[in-house]
Amino acid sequence: MTIPKIYTPGQKVDLKILRETDLGFVASINGVDEGLLYHDEIFEHLEPGQEVPGYIKKVREDQQIDLLLQAFGNLGAEEMGERILAALKENQGFLPITAKTSAEKIYELFGMSKKKYKIALGGLYKKRLISVDDDGIRLV
């Protein structure tokens, strides 16, 4: 199968979960091609038939497509930052989240990986919207 060069890293796509494998979940991409979401990059419960937004991680040399559920790098950081700000506003401007908070707890609170959380948090900090203290994060 030859994958058309219509996919670029970071491209947002519509995914439909098809089946689970030992490596992760196979998903239909825009109803046309198939790609793989790796278990260690999934931070939510997925089931066959579920439709979710996703992103192209890369098209490998063997023409297989690796997928992500969250944009990589700084892509999507602003949207993630909005989630953090909303959670802070709902909790009187403070959350007891520190560098030692588990990745599972961060996903439970914000629906993002710890890595994404740190990127988004850094963006909010640079904009001087939050402070990061020893006991948690605060709205400024």
The CATH number covering residue 102 comes to 1.10.10.10
Specify if 131 maps to a domain. Answer: yes
Q: What is the total count of domains within the chain?
A: 2
8 Å CB contact between 71 and 56: no
Residues 87 and 114 placed together within one structural domain of the fold: yes
The pTM is what?
0.62
Strand ranges across the sheet with 130-133: 94-95, 136-139, 130-133
**Whether residue 57 is found in the same domain as residue 81:** no
Helix (H) or strand (E) holding 137: strand 136-139
In a domain, 48, yes or no: yes
* Residue 33 placed within a domain: yes
The per-residue b/e assignment along 19-48, b for 16 or more CB within 10 angstroms, e otherwise, is eeeeebbbbbbeeebbbbbeeebbbeebee
DSSP annotation of 4: P
> Which tens digit of pLDDT belongs to each residue from 70-110?
776 655 667 788 889 999 999 999 999 987 888 888 888 88
Query: Is residue 134 located within the same domain as residue 81?
Result: yes
- Specify the residue for token string 């710890």: 114
Residues 21 and 43 grouped into a single domain: yes
pLDDT digits (tens, 9 = 90+) for 14-66: 999 999 999 999 999 999 999 999 998 887 789 999 999 999 999 988 889 99
